[in-house]
């Protein structure tokens, strides 16, 4: 899922996203709550109309953003009070208000409000995160009122296998149509992330979507698919695109490197996107060195296209029984 935090995937139009074969985009409840706000989004006819995207939209609950504001928020059993990073104004999130906001703006998938802790953390902190996440998931399920919006639960538990199992068991009992694995990619090693994702995915219903939050490199996506994950989001591909980092089937490289000034090959010879079919590395290097705004736009499009095509390849390989060969091809490169 390309990330459109503030109702836009940075540098890309809705048509760009369709051309990249994006099936669904992600937006952020915290940021939309603060700006433009619920009243504006409702007056516009909902988030889809506001941003001109006619495909599905998933909004995260804003929990990660709120809990990263350590000096600006206070947590209690009922919810969390925080101050805006924009103007210092005070706001209040509860499981009920977060679900109501996401339903009011008409998103297709809404995430429950959860408590995410940065790793490493004490067992007491992680246990409290699991307790509140489960309690808030129960309240979110009860608050869900819109047939047009599906609500996904979130599993927490850090790297603690027993707490992950407890969180998964309790959240799955609530019968959500999909489940996210939260609390990873927040300070642990990659090996720890993969091991925890694999173990947690095995605890979730195989017939329902499993969503690993916050991963977006080629290696991470393919490893996560091998762990049994179905959905992903990350700002990584567009952030890389804005900063001159090209993602390719053979690895990543920085377009600012001198080697690409006179390199008239495509960004990625294995990619069939419009950028790779039309422009060269030398042209992209020129755009970035000249600070032309087209450079970040083209590279962002390519990076998003690459990850979407990678997921299409993964689906096809799974369907044809050739996943192991595809996985080994990338894991050994």
Which residues form the catalytic set? Answer: 60, 233
Nearest to 193 by CA among 183, 203, 202: 183
Using a 10 angstrom Cβ sphere, with 0-12 exposed, 13-18 middle and 19 or more buried, the burial of residue 19 is: middle
What is the C-alpha separation between 97 and 66, in angstroms, rounded? 14
Closest CA to 231 of 137, 307, 148, 319: 307
**The pair of three-digit structure tokens given for residue 297, joined into one six-digit string:** 């736009």
Pair of tokens at residue 184 = 């990873």
Tokens of 216: 């977006």
Chain centre to alpha carbon of residue 287: 28
Give start and end residues of each alpha helix (H) in the chain.
14-19, 29-34, 38-43, 47-51, 63-68, 95-104, 123-143, 161-172, 190-201, 218-226, 236-242, 274-278, 281-289, 294-320, 323-331
């Amino acid at each position: 899922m390309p990330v459109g935090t503030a109702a836009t995937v940075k540098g890309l139009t809705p048509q760009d996203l369709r051309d990249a074969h994006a099936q669904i985009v992600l937006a952020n409840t915290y940021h939309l709550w603060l700006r433009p706000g619920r009243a504006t989004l409702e007056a516009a006819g909902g988030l889809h109309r506001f941003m001109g995207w006619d495909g599905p939209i998933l909004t995260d609950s804003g929990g990660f953003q709120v809990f990263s504001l350590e000096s600006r928020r206070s947590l209690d059993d009922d919810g969390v009070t925080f101050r805006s990073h924009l103007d210092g104004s005070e706001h209040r999130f509860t499981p009920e208000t977060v679900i109501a906001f996401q339903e009011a703006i008409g998103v297709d998938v809404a995430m429950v409000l959860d408590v995410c802790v940065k790793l490493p953390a004490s067992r007491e902190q992680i246990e409290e995160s699991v307790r509140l996440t489960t309690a808030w998931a129960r309240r979110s399920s009860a608050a869900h009122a819109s047939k047009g919006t599906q609500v996904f639960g979130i599993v927490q538990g850090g790297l603690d296998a027993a707490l992950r199992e407890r969180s998964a068991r309790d959240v799955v009992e609530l019968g959500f149509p999909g489940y996210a694995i939260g609390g990873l990619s927040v300070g642990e090693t990659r090996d720890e992330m993969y091991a925890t994702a694999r173990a947690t995915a095995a605890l979730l219903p195989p017939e329902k979507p499993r969503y690993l939050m916050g991963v977006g490199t080629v290696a991470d996506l393919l490893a996560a698919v091998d762990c049994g994950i179905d959905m992903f989001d990350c700002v990584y591909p567009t952030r890389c695109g804005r900063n001159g980092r090209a993602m390719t089937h053979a690895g990543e490289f920085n377009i600012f490197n001198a080697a690409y000034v006179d390199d008239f090959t495509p960004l990625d010879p294995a990619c069939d996107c419009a950028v790779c079919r039309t422009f060269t590395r030398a042209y992209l290097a020129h755009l970035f060195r000249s600070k032309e705004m087209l450079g970040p736009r083209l590279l962002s499009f390519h990076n998003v296209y690459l990850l979407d095509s990678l997921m299409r390849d993964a689906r096809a390989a799974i369907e044809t029984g050739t996943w192991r060969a595809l996985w080994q091809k990338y894991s050994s490169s």
